[in-house]
Amino acid sequence: MLRETMALMRDLHRLQEIASVMVHYGWGDLVKHSGLARTLERAGRLVHWRPSQDVGHLDQAVRLRLALTELGPTFVKLGQILATRVDVFAPQWIEELEKLHNQVPPVAFEIVEQMLAMAYGQPIDAVFQSFEREAFAAASIAQVHAAVLPDGTPVVVKVRRPDILPKIEADLRILDHLAQIVELEWPETRNYRPVQIVAQLRRSLLRETDLVKEARNLDTFAAMFAQDDTVRIPKVYWAFCRENVNVQERLEGIAATDLGEAQQAGYDMPLLARRGADAVLQMILVHGHFHADPHPGNIIFLPGNRIGMLDFGMVGQLTMARREQLIQFFFALINKDEIGMLDVLVMWAGDAEVDEERLAYDLTELVMSYDNLSLRNIRLGGLLSDITAILRGNNLALPADLTLLFKTFITLEGLGHQIDQDFHMVDDLEPFIRALMEARYTPTAVLARTQRSLKELAGIVTGLPRDLVRLLRQARRGRLRIDLDLKRLDSFGGQLNRAANRLTMGILTASLVVGSSIVLTVEGGPDFFGLPLLGALGFTLAVINSAWIVSSIWRSGKE
C-alpha cells in the first residue's frame, strides 16, 4: 500500500478534488471502497464525507452525470464511453450518460492568438487572411474558429485548449489505479474489464487531443469515399496543421440539427436518411473503419442531397476477423436464427464462463418475441438493446471494439428516424449483409480463405517439431515453467505482509516492556524525574508502538 501511495503522491491534489466531488454528489461509499480514501488518509489529506443536501433527492444516474461533468474532460469522456456499454448498464443509466457533453465556455481569443503565434512562429494575421475572434463551437478539449486562408479559401481552425494534457494524464493515472483495484477486489467485475475500459479511454482521449491524428482520419475517410459523390469529407490543409491545430475545409450547408430549415430548402429527407445510413454501413462492414459518433451535430446536408460528415476525433476500427463475425451475427439476426447468434456471442464472450443452455433459451425467447413482426417493423436499436440485456443477464460483456459499434448503430438509427419518420435501419442493413454473405462464397473468396488456412496450417505443422524439441530440452534442464495468473494473490500477499509487520512490532513492543522493566530495577545511571532514563524511554517507545498497532488494526477493520 505504501508503494501505491507513493505512486499517486504527485496527483494528490487532483485525487482529493475527485474524492470531494464524488462525495458531494453522494458517491462517498464508492470513494471508500475504491481505495481513494485510504490513499488520502495516508498522505494526511482530509475528505469531508457529508454529501450535499442539494442533490440528495436526485436519481443515482443523474448524480453520476453531474459528478462526471464537474470533474472535466477525462471523466466526461469516461461517461461517454460508459454510455456505449449497453451490455453493462440498464437503459435509464445509458440515457442519462448520453446527456454528457463537452460544451464549455471558450478560451479567450487573446490566449488562442498567443498559442497560434507560437505554433506558426508568426502572428496569425500573417498566416490567415481573416480569423473570427469568436469561437462557433467550444468543447473541453478544443474549440473551433472560422477563418480564411491567404488564397481566399474558407476554413475552420480547431485549436486545442492550453495546459489540458497534464490534467488528462493525471486523471488517467488515477483511473488506471482504480480500475486495477476494482478488478482485484471485486472478481465479478472482471467480465466487464474495467482496466480495458480505462485503456480504451486513454486511446480515445489521446486520439482526440492529437489534432494531427484527427487530420489523418479525415484523409483516410476522404480516400474511402473518393469515388462516391453523395458523401463529402472535409479536406485537410496540412501546411497549416500542427499537433494542437487542425485546419480543414469549411463545408457550406444545413446542419442536421436544423431539420425544418432543410425541409424548407427542398431537401429529400428520405434520401438523406438512406445515404447517411449507407455511408456509415459501408464504413463498418466494408472498410472496418467508421465514424463512431454520427449524431446530428456532426452531419451537414449539402446541395444535391449530399451528406457531409464532420469531427472525426472519435473513430472505431474492426479487424477482418471481427467484421466476418459481425456479418455472420447480423445474418443470423435478420433470419431470426438463434443458433447462429449463439455461436457468435459465445465467440465474443472470450474466456468468460458461458451457460450456453441458458443463453440459448434467452435467445430463443427473444426470437419468438419478434416472430410475428415483419422485418420492416423491427427497430434495430431496440433489438440490439434486447440482446445486450440478455448479455447482462448472463454476466457477459461485449468486446470493447463492439460496444462502440453497437452504440454507433443505435445512434445512427436514431438519427435516420429523426430525418425521416419512415426510416427503418433494417431495410438498409439487410441488402448489405446479404451481398456480403454472397461475396464470402464466391469461388475467388473461398479460394483466398482456403489458401490462407493452408498457409496457417503449414506454419503450425512445420513449426511443431521445433517447438517439441524446445519444450523437451527445457524439461530436461529443469527450466520448464508454468505461469499462473492469480489476480488476488498480490492482495493476499499484501495482507500477509501487513500482518507480519504487526506481529513484528508486537514482539518488539513486548521486548521493550520486558527490557525496560529490568532496567527500572537497576540502580545507577541517568534518571528522569526519579526514574532510570533508559527504562522510561523504553516504556515510551512501547506505548507509541502499541498505539500504532491498535490504530493499524482499527483502520484495517474500517477498510
Which residues in 116-137 are b (16+ Cβ under 10 Å) and which e?
Answer: beebeeeebeebbeebeeebeb
Instruction: Please choose, from the candidates 189, 186, 171, 177, the residue with its C-alpha nearest in 3D space to the C-alpha of residue 79.
Output: 171
Contacts of 119 (CB under 8 A, 6+ apart): 242, 244, 245
Q: How far apart are CA 480 and CA 491, in angstroms?
A: 27
pLDDT for the residue numbered 94: 80
pLDDT tens string 90-140: 778 888 887 776 566 788 899 999 999 999 999 999 999 999 999 888 877
pLDDT for the residue numbered 1: 43
pLDDT tens string 4-36: 444 555 667 777 778 788 877 777 766 666 666
pLDDT for the residue numbered 268: 92
3-state secondary structure of 508: helix
Least confident of 10-24, 49-63, 229-243, 419-433: 49-63
Choice between 81 and 5, residue whose per-residue pLDDT is larger: 81
Domain boundaries, the chain: 2-102+166-199, 251-440, 489-558
The whole-number average pLDDT for the span 442-460 is 75
Contacts of 539 (CB under 8 A, 6+ apart): 512, 513, 516
Other beta carbons within 10 Å of 217: 20
* pLDDT grade for 480, boundaries at 50, 70 and 90: low
Instruction: Say if pTM beats, i.e. exceeds, 0.75.
Output: no
pLDDT tens string 374-399: 656 677 777 777 888 888 788 877 77
% of the chain beyond a pLDDT of 90: 16
Q: How far apart are CA 168 and CA 217, in angstroms?
A: 22
Beta bridge partners of 315: 291
pLDDT for the residue numbered 3: 47
pLDDT above 70 for 41: no
pLDDT for the residue numbered 219: 93
pLDDT above 90 for 526: no
